[in-house]
Amino acid sequence: MKKNVTIRDVAKESGLSIATVSRYLNGKGYLSEQSEKKIKEVMERLDYKPNEVARSLSIGKTNTIALIIPDITNPFFPELVVAIEGVARTRGYSLFLINTPEELLHSNGFWRSLESRFIDGLILGSFQFTGEVLKGMENMNLPFVRIDRAVGDDENNSFGVDNSEGAKLAVEHLIEVGCKKIAHISGPSSYPSSSERLKGYREAMKRYLPFQEECIYEGDFSLESGQKLIKQLLNDHRDCDGIFFGNDLMAIGGLKTLKQMNIQVPEEIAIIGFDGIQLTQMVDPEISTIEQPIYELGKLATTHLIDMIEKKNEGSDYVKLDVRLRERESTLGKHPGGAILPIK
């Protein structure tokens, strides 16, 4: 059985002290060019592999960041993870992914267990940013950024999109294709992104369809809530001919239920989602959506966090990216020629 080579073996073979070899491994303190050359030669000859965990702990840095998300089964998050992991890797960091229900973030036990992971920074992916969550993160005394649903207005180290403007684009598009009664199935009201999308929906409705009765149903961003709430919506408002879903996953659930009910999309009801996940192109009909720049969000947030870890910025950015309308079959063709919007 091959013997594990230790730092003591390297020191002995090179004729130098353990402290000198340690300085070489950690990149700290002065070493002569001759000593560096000798240590490197011995390490290669003995096939010495430093204990990266121990070395990281000794210098107080592990080059690991954590991403905390609520639901890896939601296709939005794997697309976000690809961006974050890619940027982290190019900067020499590894990603520790934590998929956890929101209620666990409110317990001290969660944050204590996270401390034992020896991470350098945090990305909070999509949670209500409560006092308990903020306290837990501050107790860890680590750099952190917020992204997507965890982002409120004008908060430092936050990276989100213009949710309100995206909702207005969705409503305007539904009106342009001829919808006369438009409902909104929202995300949880506790999330800033949900409330901003609801705000944009209401503002657009007030501008273009001021006399329509309110048709708003609160979901939880899951496919199942889209399935359930569209039944309730159509039971209450069978004359509804346009639906803006608070995210794409609920829109996909809604589309499935509409097919089961033999309701034609978009001829009878036009639907549009929010996020721009790839799955919206894999259903029939393809679903129109308000597209978030998911990759750019992950890239900016990760770059900012690592710059904070490496003390290259002061950690005060608040970024709100633009969204864009993706017109697809679930809205196009409802009424050829569409409608003309009132003058703004």
Report how far residue 318's alpha carbon sits from residue 259's, in angstroms, rounded to the nearest whole number. 41
Please give the helix or strand (H or E) that residue 181 lies within, else none.
none
Q: Is-contact 169 323, C-beta < 8 A?
A: yes
Residue 247 phi/psi, 5° resolution?
-155, 170
Residue 40: other Cβ atoms inside 10 A:
12
Kindly report the CA angle at 305 between 323 and 167, in degrees rounded to 5? 15
7-59: CATH class: mainly alpha
Q: 96 by DSSP, 3-state: which?
A: strand
Task: Give the HSE-up count for residue 98: Cα atoms under 13 Å, Cβ half-sphere.
Answer: 22
CA distance 323 to 161: 7
Residue of 4, 3, 19, 13 lying closest to 39 (CA atoms) = 13
Question: Can you give the pLDDT of all 344 residues of the chain as single tens digits?
Answer: 456 778 888 888 888 888 888 777 766 667 788 888 888 888 888 887 766 555 554 555 678 999 988 888 888 889 999 999 999 999 999 999 988 887 777 777 777 777 767 789 999 886 666 667 777 777 777 888 888 765 555 567 888 899 999 999 999 999 999 999 999 999 999 888 899 999 999 999 999 999 998 899 999 999 999 999 999 999 999 999 999 999 999 999 999 999 999 999 999 999 999 999 999 999 999 999 999 999 999 999 999 999 999 888 776 677 889 999 999 999 997 655 444 455 44
CA distance 81 to 209: 39
Residues 10-20 have pLDDT tens digits of 888 888 888 88
CATH topology of domain 163-292: Rossmann fold (3.40.50)
**pLDDT of 218-235, one tens digit each?**
999 999 999 999 999 999
* 228 and 217 Cβ atoms separated by less than 8 Å: no
- Read off the pTM: 0.79
* φ/ψ bin of 123: left (φ > 0), alpha (ψ from -120 to 50), beta (otherwise): beta
pLDDT tens, position by position, 28-68:
667 788 888 888 888 888 887 766 555 554 555 678 999 98
- DSSP-derived secondary structure for 263-279: --TTTT-EEEEEE--GG
The answer to whether residues 171 and 245 touch, using CB atoms and an 8 Å cutoff, is: no
- Show me where the domains of the chain are located: 7-59, 64-161+294-322, 163-292
- Which one is the CATH code of 64-161+294-322: 3.90.400.10, 1.10.3720.10, 3.40.1050.10, 3.40.50.2300? 3.40.50.2300
Q: Do domains 64-161+294-322 and 163-292 have the same CATH topology?
A: yes
DSSP state of 171: H
